[in-house]
Amino acid sequence: LLMNADQSMYAAKNAGRNCFSYFTEALHVKAMERQLMLQDMREALAHKQFCVYFQPIVELASGRIFKAEALIRWNHPERGMIGPAEFIPLAEESGLINPIGKFVFKESVRWAKRWADLSPAGFQISVNKSPVQLHSVVDNHDTWLNHMLECDLSNNSIVIEITEGLLLGADARTTDKLSKYRQAGVQVAIDDFGTGYSAFSSLKKMDFDFLKIDQSFVRDMTPGSNDLALSEAIIVMAHKLGLKVIAEGVETEEQKNLLAAAGCDFLQGFFYSRPVPPEAFEALLRNNWASLGVSIRDVTTIQ
């Protein structure tokens, strides 16, 4: 009875508090599904069902793939490939985001090393870091930085992406952690810019390197639209603050041209490529670099 009452209490809290909620069969089913998902997620870690896909980030002026964003996928034995939107929230709630985040980071370091070695021009990988990880005491920046050193990866090969919501209630530990990364040469990007509540004030909290314009501005961008006007203003502001701008969710030639005219620095989206497994990404990278005459070193086998 107490357990079920607890479920109703959570439902009432989620509905905005200060109200009541009956315990229903649907609540029970949802709780069971959650429990099952949690169990599956623990097994997924042990059985290596998680994998990391990479999506290119292209420099607008040259058309060159400069970086990639690492995006986690879950290859579930029964449900097939599951996207992060379905399991990251529960991973955050349960604390499983810490070991999952560590896995993504290690994979990213491994591939960043390989792709940075491919060309003297270098290469960067962007890794999403959940606010929960940054708030957590389990997540130690020294371990991460040491791992990069052990792998002989130059620090500016990794970028950490954080959402602006994180900065809204950021305590000293969070900003301190981020500053430590930056001091060690890891760059920081502010993700999904324009969607949170904090927007402009978040830029005062600390120094960043990149600002990512959220897809919701790009999706319906047309000449003369508010979305375009806002994006133009964001780009001017970011440049004045010394930040480079990446537009997310670019799907069409028109969006690309409008963003080019607005002075955007980098583009990411299905127009160039969907997120793909590392081997497919490397093929994409080699093709792109070869077509632009970027010199490619001989790094042969993929382990």
Binding site for ligand C2E (CB under 6 A): 55, 71-72, 83-85, 88, 101, 104, 128, 130, 161, 191-192, 215, 248-251, 268-270, 275
Q: Shortest Cβ distance from residue 68 to Mg ion (Å)?
A: 11
Which DSSP letter does residue 157 get? G
Choose among ligand C2E, Mg ion, none what residue 101 binds, the Cβ cut-off being 5 to 8 Å by kind: ligand C2E
Choose among ligand C2E, Mg ion, none what residue 156 binds, the Cβ cut-off being 5 to 8 Å by kind: none
- Which C-beta is closer to ligand C2E: that of 89 or that of 120? 89
Q: Shortest Cβ distance from residue 204 to ligand C2E (Å)?
A: 22
Choose among ligand C2E, Mg ion, none what residue 7 binds, the Cβ cut-off being 5 to 8 Å by kind: none
Count CB neighbours of 147 within 10 A.
14
Give the type of residue at 161.
E
- In the complex, residue closest to ligand C2E by CB: 269
Contacts of 120 (CB under 8 A, 6+ apart): 295, 297
State the residues that interact with Mg ion by CB under 5 A.
128, 161, 191-192, 248
Cβ pair 136, 167 in contact under 8 A: no
The CA-based angle 7-11-17, given to 5 degrees, is 125
Q: Shortest Cβ distance from residue 301 to ligand C2E (Å)?
A: 26
Choose among ligand C2E, Mg ion, none what residue 278 binds, the Cβ cut-off being 5 to 8 Å by kind: none
Q: Shortest Cβ distance from residue 238 to ligand C2E (Å)?
A: 17
Locate tokens 């490529």: which residue?
273
- Which C-beta is closer to Mg ion: that of 191 or that of 282? 191
For 134, the token pair is 């940054």
CA–CA separation, 124 vs 108, rounded Å? 9
Choose among Mg ion, ligand C2E, none what residue 139 binds, the Cβ cut-off being 5 to 8 Å by kind: none
CA–CA separation, 33 vs 28, rounded Å? 9
- Which C-beta is closer to ligand C2E: that of 85 or that of 302? 85
- Which C-beta is closer to Mg ion: that of 192 or that of 251? 192
Choose among Mg ion, ligand C2E, none what residue 231 binds, the Cβ cut-off being 5 to 8 Å by kind: none
Report the C-alpha dihedral over residues 230, 236, 240, 246, rounded to 10 degrees: 80
Locate tokens 């030639």: which residue?
253
For 70, the token pair is 């690492």
Cβ pair 189, 210 in contact under 8 A: yes
- Which C-beta is closer to Mg ion: that of 192 or that of 232? 192
- Which C-beta is closer to Mg ion: that of 128 or that of 273? 128
**Count of residues making up the chain:** 303
Q: Shortest Cβ distance from residue 164 to Mg ion (Å)?
A: 10
CA distances from 238 to 143, 210, 215, 226, 276 (A): 31, 8, 17, 18, 29
- Which C-beta is closer to Mg ion: that of 88 or that of 145? 88
Choose among Mg ion, ligand C2E, none what residue 194 binds, the Cβ cut-off being 5 to 8 Å by kind: none
